[in-house]
Amino acid sequence: MVNDAATGALVPFDFEQIKDNVPELARLNYQLSVHSFTPIIDSSNMHPGHWNFIAELIRDNYEEFDGFVILHGSDTMSFTASALSFMLKNLAKPVILTGSQLPIGEIRTDAKENLITALEIAATKANGKAVVPEVCIYFDNQLFRGNRSIKFNTEKFEAFRSPNYPILAEAGVQLTFFHKEILPVPTAPFYIQTKFDANIGVLKVYPGMTEDVVTAVTKSKVKAIVLETFGSGNTTTAQWFIDALAQAVKDGKIIVDISQCLRGSVQLGMYETSSELKKMGVLSGYDMTFETAVTKLMYLLGADLSAEEIRQQMETSIAGELTN
């Protein structure tokens, strides 16, 4: 972002302003090719159509480059990274998303370091192969698996965290990669899947929620529901609540249970309060982030899969997004 001269508000920038503000780019020993999106948008306006465009751009240029860096607003960066991790199949090259907490024109901006190191990571190879063949987020000296990341802080440079998976690399005096945490380089041909179905609902449980609130979601026309529960997957056992969820499952809706806690995993049936969910066919989201659960459902609903295949893949790691 940059400050608008007229209003003082933060507005999206174009890449020419980055080159003006980061002259160090000229000193990198890389061949850089730049694509600026039109129109330039705030990341709060991202939607699946933008994810498709990014995936198609990578596909169309895949053989020409060693890696890709995507400059992205931090607010929805984890959603985009998660979506791309499912869309870019058999990815053998780095796709690194980065941005900044301070506008690029500010003297204390974190944009320069984030951009330069993201480029270095995207260019790093070992024995002719990419060191990080994943969709990742680089921010504040740390590299995260994209579909394990969340935006954690709006006030500090440490904007992102990966609550349930170790970081993939750390930038200090040297750039250190933690190879055992990184996905292996695939051997199958690269391709993309861009069809998404965003017809999903979100139901976050809380003490005192009413039946009208719940049924507004369960009786809607959505195809799937992300159910954000307490602790390891627990909800109220009020009969009206259980009946509402059971009817939604009978109606063909896919319900995925993820925890409101940042760390830990859903374990359906561990407590009495989640046993009924397991019996009726609610799926476990294990330790998936909210961003990943949402984008994975959109991705699977858009694929040519049966209901049973969708259910099976929701509980299976297909891009390193969960531990079960």
pLDDT tens sequence across 205-224:
999 999 999 999 999 999 99
Question: What CATH number is given to the structural domain containing 31?
Answer: 3.40.50.1170
Domain count of the chain? 2
> Would you say the pTM of this structure is higher than 0.85?
yes
Considering the domain architecture, whether residues 163 and 36 belong to the same structural domain is answered as yes
Residues 10 and 159 reside in one and the same domain? yes
With a cut of 80, say whether residue 108 has pLDDT above it. Answer: no
CA 40 distance to own-chain centroid: 21
Instruction: Quote the CA–CA distance of 263 and 269 in Å, as a whole number.
Output: 19
Residue 131 in any domain: the answer is: yes
Residue 52 covered by a domain: yes
Question: What sign does the dihedral 187-191-195-196 (CA atoms) show?
Answer: positive
Tokens of 110: 């974190």
Domain final position from 192, 208, 230: 192
Q: Which domain holds residue 87?
A: 2-192
| Residue 118 falls inside a structural domain | yes
Residue ending a domain, choose from 150, 168, 192: 192
User: Is pLDDT at 152 greater than 70 in this prediction?
Assistant: yes
Instruction: With respect to residue 102, please indicate whether it lies within any of the assigned structural domains.
Output: yes
Percent of the chain topping pLDDT 90: 75
Same domain, yes or no: 127 and 15:
yes
Q: Are residue 91 and residue 108 in the same domain, yes or no?
A: yes
Q: Which two tokens stand for residue 232?
A: 């390891």
Mode of pairing for the β-strands spanning 95-98 and 135-139: parallel
Residue 116 inside a domain? The answer is: yes
**Domain identity same for 173 and 147:** yes
- pLDDT digits over 236-293, tens only? 999 999 999 999 999 999 999 999 999 999 998 888 778 999 999 999 999 999 999 9
- DSSP-assigned letters across all residues of 132-152: --SEEEEETTEEEEGGG-EE-
138 and 17 co-located in one domain: yes
Given pLDDT bands bounded at 50, 70 and 90, which one contains residue 136? very high
Domain match, 74 and 163 both = yes
Tell me, yes or no, whether 47 and 132 share the same domain.
yes
| Helices vs. strands in the chain: H and E counts, helices first | 9, 18
Domain match, 157 and 120 both: yes
Kindly report, residue by residue over 73-100, the tens digit of the pLDDT: 899 999 999 999 999 999 999 999 998 8
Q: Which tokens hold the place of 61?
A: 């240029």
Strands 191-192 and 175-177, bridge-based pairing: unpaired
Q: Is residue 323 part of a domain?
A: no
Is there a domain that residue 204 lies in? Answer: yes
d(CA 228, CA 206): 9
- In terms of domains, do 224 and 304 share one? yes
Same domain, 227 and 298: yes
Cβ(168)–Cβ(136) below 8 Å: yes
